[in-house]
Every structure is written in C-alpha cells, then in structure tokens.
C-alpha cells in the first residue's frame, strides 16, 4: 500500500515534467532561427510541441504510474473518480499536487526563458486562450467545444488502455500518442489544454487575459473527462466501485 504522501509527491513531479517539458518545447524550441545573414527556421513547430507533450506523459507513466497512477491532470483524476477507477477521498489532494507541480514547472521554465535578452510573457508563454489569444483566432464557443471533445476522447483512451482486459504494459504508449494526436488537432484552436494544471502554470506568469480566460480551461476539460467517466463504463460493461 503506497502512502498518499508518496502519491502526491509523484503527481507533483510528474505534472512539473509535463508543464516544463511540453510548455518548454513551445516557449524555447517551437520557433528557433539560426544565426547568420540568412537565418533558417530550426524550430520544432506544432508537430514537435505535440510530440513533446506526448513524450512527457509517456515517460512519466513508466516512471511513476506504479506509484500514483500518473494522472498529472485534474481532469484525468476527476474522470477516473467518476468512472469508479480512483478514490474520491484522494481527488482534492491529487488536484492540489498537480496544480502545484504545474506552477513549479512554469516557474522553472520562466527562469530559463527570461535569461534571454528581449524575453517577454507578452508572447503568451504557452498559455491557453481563445478569441484574439487563440493561435488561429478561434472563438470561445469553438474553444469550449474543442476542449470538451478532445478531453473526452483523451479520457476514453486512458480508460480503455488501462482496462484490465486491455493488453498489459502498453497503456503509456497509447496514452502518450493520444495526447500527441489531440495536440496536433487542438494547438491551433487554444494552444491545447485538456489539463487545468497545465493551463494554470503558465497563466500565473502571464496574468491579465490568461487568468481571465482560465475558467474555460478548467470547465471544459472537467466536463469532457466527467462525460468519459460515465460513457466508458457504460459501453465497456464496467461496474463502478
């Protein structure tokens, strides 16, 4: 029996890695020009950032999945509770640990990024947004629908891949690739959240509009995850605890 304290520490470090790795790739590496008279774009772009987010979850799932379940996301925890896969009594402590880890990851990223001359959070610092703060200029309604839908399917992947009847040992790969896929879809719309802790970390350093729009990136992922927590057991025949 793993003590709750150990689980929370694992969730804190895991969410730190997700925010630092995923948002770090967006802030530090998405757009990178070589030096010289004819600079070349050497950045990783949307595809690289999507892969980075997927890799953070895949690597942490193998590292701490056996300790805490590797949720790294308040919406995931809530979805698993709704599906009967996780203890209700641990839900709030898990969420607090995840938000703390996300804020810490964004804090270390800020320290690194601000070491470059001319750095400013005015560029967004990988925050999530809609309207004029959406990478593609998508509306609030579009952002809400995208975040609910993509979180729903992310939780369906998690619940299916971790089902006892599924092939064992491959869940981290499916989940990591699932997160990569939904980033490929959603980055142009909102910078993609599907994770309130991931959204909160950068928003704390950007302030202003990022804090004002943060409500959507808590509400939509939680709704999408809760819906999956109802739908997956219904179609899979799972019995809730």
> What's the CA gap between 78 and 84, in Å, rounded?
10
Domains of the chain: 4-236 (1.20.1080.10)
> What's the CA gap between 56 and 87, in Å, rounded?
25
Is residue 228 within 8 Å of 156, Cβ to Cβ?
A: yes
Residue 134 is classified by DSSP as S
Q: How many helices (H) and strands (E) does the chain have?
A: 10, 0
> What's the CA gap between 64 and 110, in Å, rounded?
25
pLDDT of 37: 75
> pLDDT tens per residue, the chain (241 residues)?
999 999 999 999 999 999 999 999 999 998 887 777 778 888 999 999 999 999 999 999 999 999 999 999 999 999 999 999 999 999 999 999 999 999 999 999 999 999 999 899 998 999 999 999 999 999 999 999 999 999 999 999 999 999 999 999 999 999 999 999 999 999 999 999 999 999 999 999 999 999 999 999 999 999 999 999 999 999 998 765 5
User: Within 13 Å, how many C-alpha atoms sit on residue 105's CB side?
Assistant: 33
């Amino acid at each position: 029996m793993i003590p709750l304290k150990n689980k929370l520490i694992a969730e804190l470090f895991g969410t730190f890695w997700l925010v630092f790795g995923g948002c770090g790739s967006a802030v530090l590496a998405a757009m990178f020009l070589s030096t010289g008279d004819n600079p070349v774009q050497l950045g990783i772009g949307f595809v690289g950032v999507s892969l980075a987010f997927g890799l953070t979850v895949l690597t942490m799932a193998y590292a701490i999945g056996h300790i805490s379940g590797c949720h790294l996301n308040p919406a995931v925890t809530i979805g698993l509770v709704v599906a009967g896969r996780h203890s209700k009594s641990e839900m709030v402590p898990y969420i607090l640990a995840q938000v703390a880890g996300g804020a810490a990851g964004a804090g270390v990223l800020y320290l690194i990024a601000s070491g470059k001359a001319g750095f400013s959070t005015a560029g967004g610092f990988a925050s999530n947004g809609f309207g004029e703060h959406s990478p593609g200029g998508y509306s609030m309604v579009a952002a809400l629908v995208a975040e609910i839908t993509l979180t729903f399917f992310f939780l369906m992947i998690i619940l299916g891949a971790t089902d006892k009847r599924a092939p064992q040992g491959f869940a981290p790969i499916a989940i990591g690739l699932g997160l990569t896929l939904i980033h490929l879809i959603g980055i142009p719309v909102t910078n993609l959240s599907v994770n309130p802790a991931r959204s909160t970390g950068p928003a704390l350093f950007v302030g202003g509009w990022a804090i004002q729009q943060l409500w959507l990136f808590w509400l939509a992922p939680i709704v999408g995850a809760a819906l999956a927590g109802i739908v997956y057991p219904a179609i899979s025949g799972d019995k809730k605890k």
